[in-house]
Structure 1
Amino acid sequence: MKESLPGNKTISHYRILHQLGAGGMGEVYLAQDTRLDRKVAIKFLPAELAADERATRRLIREAQAAAALDHSNICSIYEVGEEDGLSFIVMQYIEGASLASRITAKALGLREALDIAVQIADALAEAHSRSLIHRDIKPQNIMITVRGQVKVLDFGLAKVVRERDMLESEVATQGLVTEPGMIVGTVPYMSPEQVKGEPLDARSDIFSFGAVLYEMVTGHQPFASENAAATISAILVHEPAPLARYSREAPAELERIVTKALAKDREERYQTAKDAAIDLRKLNQRIEIEAELQRSKEPEGTGGLSVATIAREVLTETAGEPATPTAETAAARSTSSAEYLITEIRRHKKGLSIALAAFVITLAAIAYFLLVRGGQPKTIDSLAVLPFLNASTDPDTEYLSDGITESLINSLSQLPNLKVMSRNSIFRYKGRESDAQAAARELNVRAVLTGRVVRHSDALMISVELVDALDNSHIWGDQYVRKFEDILRVQREIAREVSEKLQVRLTGLYKERLRDHQTENTEAYQLYLKGRYYANKYSTDAIKKSIEFYEQAIKTDPKYALAYAGLAESYFEASVVYLRHDEAFQKARLAALKALQLDETLAEAHTSLALVNMNYDWDWPEAEKHCKRAIELKPGYAWAHDWYGIYLGWTGHLDEAKAELKQAQDLDPLSLPINTDLAGMYFWARQYDQAIELYRKTLDLDPTFTPALGYLGWCYEQ
């Protein structure tokens, strides 16, 4: 466009109000949509682009693809049109400021920068899932609304303009000089493959995103030099200065994330924007938890009050036995971090069996050592809860020790920034004599929790020990002897005692992460544990028994959502071994839907419903929705990652499928099905050497595992 449009000029049914900005991509105006009575932004394309019929057709195709994106962090495209020789795109008008202006004003703190980065990554993940690459991610193309919501602009437009004049005109390289009203150019944010003119994929956007993240945190562009040529050279050859040079508050984990995003070799970068978003969310959660713990640190004079001391006193008092406070508990009763963590967890664990009471205290102690001590050199970020030993004379109580182990795994896996090994890998150690260090090496974890369970009549004793596998040192341990039927009264009293204080001192995120989905009915909980015990044996008779126990648990407590989710899983297994396919899946669907009706935040129920969607309904959008929701609710749930990986593979996204299944494998490295599923993706991608390696690893764990044997044979036939 040679001249700016005058105000009040009408194009189609849009009345031009005034210009918002201009640059190599065209001119942007605020306009009034006279039909729908709303403000919109209209981008008029450069005249030379409008005169190119082929480029115009390509623009329309790209804009149509971008218009199909429906995501809260992507600016909506309403229309593509042409009038009086002017080609234009009508977009959502966003009231707010560009990320570029926020960076220039030095108005971003670390937490806000991370929140913005997560939203940008989410937008990219959505676009990439629909095979749409942005190619021009930069602060000028990112808007922040007055409510803090990110909106990414110009999806698809960059390809049309850059294909015409990439590096051949001043437009593409002049971005190092800012002129009034102009949009800053692209070079400082280009990936190495982009400046070399190579074919691009989604990982180019991830590099640009890394450059934007770097600039948000430091206020400096990672590769900016005196001119465009020098900047391109820096992108290709040099590494950016460490974040710590400009920002003392930037944690080491953020340095790792940025470094990975800015890797010169695209194979070494994040392979998907979703992976980057997951790491950023975990970091954000860790920072919030650390801030919360910092606010609740023990005041001077508490003398390092032990968690076990408080736990024993609280349980003794609430069991109806008067307790004589020690000097240390009297001094710290209202403010210690240990009590704060115990009471938080107790508030969320109402109504479990006595076994659960003991493991709640265990959970509090682990949280104290793994999180409060996290800022010290001896940081622990990974844990294996080895199968608790049933030391009872009655073998029928085996379900109790297994249930305590599994409940601990489920609860701890919800804590942010703590990797907890999943059940399948853990229970390969059941019945084996394996020391903590050996198990930790095999599972690649730092800490190991072991325990013993003894039940005699209505009495129960649980012993636990937490060990640092790095040097085999004892971190914490204790022994609990309680009456079996006392649990409900004990937990209610503790909850009443501390609920008011917890509402003030704990953030919503922390409460959500420690949330429990158990029943308040002790009998129903025992029946559920028996259902889990038999469900994990996978034989026909065992699956039938698991269904019986789940149904009894539901009859005892009709609002027990977790029992419905377990029932859905067992019906899915039943479809494989004895029950007619359609009957099994119909029953699984009803159970999963009932679980979600009772508790929408139950990750296991979302996964069960996804299984029905994939294996019976062939409803891919619903399957994807429930897989994603399960992962969002419980990032440490290996089976949610596994089934989402299978979904991605079945829908033709093999690279993303492999990435998702690798996350499942990381959480459950000794799982036969997960290793086989990952190998299967390599097989379908025709990467037979990698597939063979994984199938062999699986067969090393169990030489009789039929699926791995069959696929291994197919690999050798290729």
Structure 2
Amino acid sequence: MTPERYQQIGDLYHAALEIDAAERAAFLERECAADEDLRREVESLIASHEQSADFIAIPAISVAAELLAAREAEGPKGQVVGRYRVLSLIGSGGMGRVYLAEDTGLGRRVALKLLPEHFTHDKNQVQRFRQEALAASALNHPNILTVYEIGEWHGRDFIATEFVEGVTLRTRMRRKLSFSAAIDIAQQVAAALSAAHAAGIVHRDIKPENLMIRPDGLVKILDFGIAKYAEPKRMRDSKESWIKTATGVVVGTTAYMSPEQARAQEVDARTDIWSLGVILYEMIARRLPFPGKTPTDRVAAILEREPEPLSNHRGRLPDKLQQIINRALAKDKDARYARASDMSEDLRALRATIGDERPFRFALPAPSRTFFSRLNRKAIAVAALLIFITAVGAALLFRSRSNGRTESLASGAAIDSLAVLPLANVSNDPNTEYLSDGITESIIGNLSQLPRLRVMARATVFRFKGKEVDPKAAGRELGVQAVLVGRLLQQGERLIVKAELVNVSDGRQLWAGEYDQKLVDAVTIQQSIAHEISEKLRLRLTSDEEKRLLGRNTTNAEAYQFYLKGRYFWNKRTEDGFNRGIAEFKQAVEKDPNFALAYTGLADSYIGLTFYDFAAPNESMPLAKDALVHALSINNRLAEAHTSLAHILVNYDWKWADAEREFKLSLDLDPNYATAHEWYAIHYLKAVGRSGEALKEMKRALDLEPTSLVMNSFWGETLYFAGRYDEAIEQCRKTIEMDPNFAVAHWHLGLAYQQKRMFDDAILEFQ
């Protein structure tokens, strides 16, 4: 094959990667014309290049939520592959589909990667698939994905690996990383590469999409799909050696490609070191060192230009950090680090000098709690299953198998504050994992409607998720008088829930119950929880309050399914998510035209399109307002709907008096709705100069959600607008301690620094 042919294949391969996967076939058919050999070579390379969703790149909570958002159309779901029972599809890439599965022998969750059926007769594809498995299984390092088994099922190869809960570095880099976190991540990757190189394996495609970060900060390298042996040479020459890409063909991802890769030259361990240098630069500067609009532009930059100094993008950099990156990005590979272990040690030493050796940690992405996301604190539902847990205390109403029991409250010890801790899922099934979260949230939403009962918000209690917590200790920490705890188990088409209400003062059990019900029967108990729990706590609903509670929900299971999907897509905060949410909410109201919360969700989706600049305000805001008017015509006592309407009135219509009326009405209907207090403070009171009232409302929001990053940050902003700059700085710093990567708090802190004329500090925060 001529050099020109190699270049033709490489150029076409990179151009194809820039095109949406759905359009690649047509693109290749057009570009390759009758040259079938050319097309075959390019498709082979594309198959080796697995996309960012590939190999466990989706956190478990998203996988579970997706199960209820769309039905899987194909695949071995429910079947047993080897000893692994397939639970759900996680994602797919060029070299296969990845499923969440359960190891029936050990009871653990695994990721199961299956070679596509249409590749089983292609010797090259089979060998590439096995190459990935062998490359990963040959390594034993905490920062490299662990391979449990390589096997065959019905003529198809599979790889069983550990299931990693986390996010890709690409996802994590959407928010600013501290120097310490970036150095920590790079050091872990360097240590893993050192182990791979010592085993004679060069990855050749190190990029943010192939790096997974767990919540505890541990980094995992994924996707050895185009790895190759580097040493010793005898292994490459042996008959058992893995299939090699023809010399002269460019393999890798353009932006992270070393100069020798770009020139289609022989590569060794130093090409991975270059790629890691690019990633480290990108984490710090928040841009690529060798940018370009096209793959060709990027390759030209890699070969011909030097990256801008990091100080151009981020101030106060340690000199040693720039030196490490310069050495990793030396165009002459002989001037680079010879070994990844040397780079790892330099990074470790650097981190020790910056005074922060704490492990890098972060929270798994859940539905965002910023801005519009908090609207769904009480609105979200889990289809017909959503209300099952309302059976806590509903034994007298339904003929379920229940051994509920109650102890009377001590005289004079009426409960007026309560926390619902996340239900513990004991099913080891992502479906019920998502169900347990949604059910917990529905309890919070419904109990929040009860008069004279303060219920801790979702953002406050979900930090206890997955932990063995003493109810008394949790209650004292949260400042409540009672704690509701429970466990959930799904067995086929039945749900078993055990729950108990604990008095925080003495640990006494106020109530307990065990329920075993069919899933299809769960919807019948959706309107009982507030009434039954109020009975247990000696809280009485007036007829008006009971009517308001009943008017929130629907008895139509299909409508709840669509409503759930709508809220799920809405929480993605993407243009596609909002549009798909709109479609689901529309179907919900078609199934139940009197489902007011679904109209509220429809409005929130239109608002989201405008808020995130996906649609012009004059296009989506009138539609949002129409949906809210419809919701309120059905049920004019929905606090969520009045709050959203107030937002439109103040930010779009500029009808200030009408907006304040809606805010006040919302707070009259639900004094514990933190979002209403927050928006009233920051969108209205602050804007009209009523700082004292804004402080009062924002403080109330913070009291309701004391661990919410959003509430803490906007409390700092409210202090700032009140001219209390020192207090604002202290509050924003406190918020950043809770999550150093929360950009909103950095922005508010920068504003306060400006007013104190601390301009250098302000610039750092804004960056």
TM-score by length of 2: 0.42
Higher relative contact order (CA 8 A, sep 6+): 2
TM-score by length of 1: 0.45
More helix as a share of residues: 1
